[in-house]
Amino acid sequence: MNMPIRYLSVCSGIEAASVAWEPLGWHPVAFSEIDAFPSAVLAHHYPTVPNWGDMTRFKEWPDAAVDLLVGGTPCQSFSVAGLRKGLDDPRGNLALVYLGLVDRYRPKWVVWENVPGVLSSSK
């Protein structure tokens, strides 16, 4: 019997991933969102799924079995439409926090959404 995929969603917003994956029987372990409006939307639509909040505090989060980590860290510091500060911009460093989450939870799969400029921000 196949077990449903358990995923952790960070930079969740109003949670497009869950809308797409719910019909597949996949289950969110938790969300990570700090903005008030998206957090209220998550609480309304997913009242049983915890919002662990600030992803930079992931070392304080509970242990959990996670098959897949999904998230789209802020892209402004890497975008060709922006100043291209990369990791010199605090928002850009959230990409490294995302990698810390991968190291902590060791999911089988990782889905990271960003802009093409993330691969060329440091030439």
46-95 residue pLDDT tens: 999 999 999 999 999 999 999 999 988 767 776 777 767 767 776 767 88
75 is an active site residue: yes
> Do β-strands 6-10 and 68-71 pair in parallel, antiparallel, or remain unpaired?
parallel
Q: Average pLDDT of 40-51?
A: 97
Domain ranges of the chain: 6-119
CA 120 to chain centre: 22
pLDDT higher than threshold 80 for residue 114:
no
First to last CA, the chain: 47
Per-residue pLDDT tens digits for 3-13: 899 999 998 88
pTM score over 0.75: yes
- pLDDT, position 40: 97
Evaluate whether the domain defined by 6-119 bears CATH number 3.40.50.150: yes
Q: What are phi and psi of 122, to 5 degrees?
A: -110, 35
Q: Which of 29, 55, 66, 75 is catalytic?
A: 75
More confident residue, 119 or 3: 3
Dig out the tokens for 99 from the structure: 């990698």
